[in-house]
Amino acid sequence: MAKTIVVKQIGSPIRRPAKQRATLVGLGLNKMHKTRELEDTPSIRGMVAKISHMVEIIEEKG
């Protein structure tokens, strides 16, 4: 079983650069307080790090 992380959107993309909004969409998030369970890969971690002010990692499943 692959490791996964649960990511929650806590910030709005309003008045943010288009790249940050695109990163949110790439993670499957588009509305406030939505959560997604994603595979724990370096690319996903990098996307979360780029917009760390708009998302938070709720839990890590291993």
Domain of 9, CATH number, reads 3.30.1390.20
- Residue 57, burial from CB neighbour count under 10 angstroms (0-12, 13-18, 19+): middle
Res. 1: pLDDT tops 80 = no
Percent of the chain, pLDDT > 90? Answer: 95
Residue 58's SS3 state is strand
Task: Look up the pTM and report it.
Answer: 0.92
Residue-level pLDDT at 46: 98
Q: How many domains does the chain have?
A: 1
Residue-level pLDDT at 62: 84
Taking residues 40-52, report their average pLDDT: 98
pLDDT tens digit sequence for 3-33: 999 999 999 999 999 999 999 999 999 999 9
- State which residues form the domain around 10: 4-61
The span from the CA of 54 to the CA of 62, in Å, is 24
User: Contact, 10 vs 62, CB < 8 A?
Assistant: no
